């Protein structure tokens, strides 16, 4: 029998690509999503249509905030692995709609943890974010750095996910791995992300808002590299570190079966170059409105991925030029632009 994997947020950007890869590896994949209207519902439905072409993918419209439905799903399927990608995303949106983040990222996540406890799984992997680093100024960001100063509610909820997961790993010996994603991009991406908005504006001849005067840097990570890392980690089940007698654990150590990793490209790109590259790939130029940084944003993200490289040999393969080229090609095909 094939092993069963639950992927929450299956209609989302990363969830879609992960489900597709797992199906290709022969797993039985059950995907759930609440199909909310944070961005285009049609894009989410089109992703699901692509996934249904695989015979080993099953989808159910379910919110992780619905504890009873989630528990029923766990009881019915006896999952081997769970990858929790369902969350309310977006730094700026968290300023306007804070309660959506509490519902999905906190209440929804505790429901996932409780389900994994009551119906034990071999391994839970969950999505954290580079946003947990907040006001940290040490570059590159390391999982050994403090994350005690978030600068957005979104980042705070992801930090909360990490400590909630650790408590369950410690109390119930639930094997858990958290992944701090760094600005994931690529085909079938999220329309609320800057790179998607920039290309929309370029294609429509509109002016784009360039925050931080274009000097901000982001560790843009191509979706295929992210998915490869998750697939390799599935069976890399944490066992916990040796118990310290006379010293404290570092932020990335635990006696519990718990592990945190950064997953990024390890090569920050300046925003202005990123925009210029989109212009070159699309064959169009765009007017730019240079503005100060917005609340909740940081000047640079840069992932130290050495721990992940040691654990699974992770090494990103896609540079920004090739990755954006693939995104632009998909964009034109999806929106029927010649």
From CA 136, how far away is CA 9, in angstroms rounded?
Answer: 29
Report DSSP state, residue 54: S
Active site residue 154: yes
All structural domains of the chain: 4-182+221-264+303-316 (3.40.50.720)
User: Mind giving me the DSSP string for 223-257?
Assistant: HHHHHHHHHHHTT-----PPPPSSSPPPTT--SSS
Q: Choosing from 154, 185, 222, 302, which is the catalytic residue?
A: 154
Q: What is the pLDDT of residues 264-313, one digit of tens each?
A: 999 999 999 999 999 999 999 999 999 888 877 788 899 999 999 999 99
* Cα distance from N-terminal residue to C-terminal residue, the chain: 45
From CA 53, how far away is CA 64, in angstroms rounded?
Answer: 25
Q: What is the pLDDT of residues 203-245, one digit of tens each?
A: 999 999 898 888 889 999 999 999 999 999 999 999 987 666 6
Report DSSP state, residue 294: P
From CA 3, how far away is CA 51, in angstroms rounded?
Answer: 18
pTM: 0.95
Q: Label residue 1 exposed, middle or buried (CB < 10 Å: 0-12, 13-18, 19+).
A: exposed
Classify the C-alpha dihedral 149-154-157-159 as positive or negative: negative
207-241 in b/e form (b: 16+ CB < 10 A) is ebebbbebebbbbbbbbbbbbbbbbebbeeebebb
pLDDT, residue 101, reads 95
Classify the C-alpha dihedral 97-59-43-274 as positive or negative: positive
């Amino acid at each position: 029998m094939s092993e069963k994997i639950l992927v929450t947020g299956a209609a989302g950007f990363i969830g879609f690509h992960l489900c597709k890869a797992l199906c290709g590896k022969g797993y039985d994949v059950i995907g759930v999503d609440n199909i909310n209207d944070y961005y285009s519902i049609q894009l989410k439905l089109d992703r699901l249509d692509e996934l249904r072409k695989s015979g080993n993918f099953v989808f159910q419209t379910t919110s992780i905030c619905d504890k009873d439905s989630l528990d029923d799903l766990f009881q019915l399927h006896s999952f081997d692995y769970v990858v929790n990608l369902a969350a309310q995303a977006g730094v700026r949106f968290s300023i306007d709609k804070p309660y959506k983040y509490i519902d999905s990222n906190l209440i929804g996540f505790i429901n996932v943890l409780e389900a994994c406890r009551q119906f034990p799984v071999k391994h839970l992997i969950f999505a954290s974010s580079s946003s947990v680093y907040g006001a940290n100024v040490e570059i590159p960001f390391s999982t050994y750095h403090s994350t005690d100063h978030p600068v957005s509610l979104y980042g705070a909820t992801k930090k909360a996910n990490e400590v909630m997961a650790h408590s369950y790993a410690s109390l119930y010996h639930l094997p858990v791995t958290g992944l701090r994603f760094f600005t994931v991009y690529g085909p079938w991406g999220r329309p609320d992300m800057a790179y998607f908005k920039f290309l929309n504006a370029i294609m429509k001849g509109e002016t784009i808002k360039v925050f931080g005067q274009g000097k901000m840097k982001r560790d843009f990570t191509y979706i295929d590299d992210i998915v490869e890392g998750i697939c390799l980690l599935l069976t890399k089940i944490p066992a916990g570190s040796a118990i310290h007698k006379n010293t404290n654990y570092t932020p990335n150590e635990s006696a519990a079966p718990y592990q945190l990793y950064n997953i990024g490209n390890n090569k920050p790109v300046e925003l202005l170059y990123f925009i210029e590259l989109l212009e070159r790939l699309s064959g169009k130029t765009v007017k730019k409105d240079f503005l100060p940084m917005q609340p909740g944003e940081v000047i640079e993200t840069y992932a130290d991925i050495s721990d992940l490289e040691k654990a699974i040999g992770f090494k990103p393969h896609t540079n920004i030029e090739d990755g954006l080229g693939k995104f632009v090609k998909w964009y034109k095909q999806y929106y029927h632009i010649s």
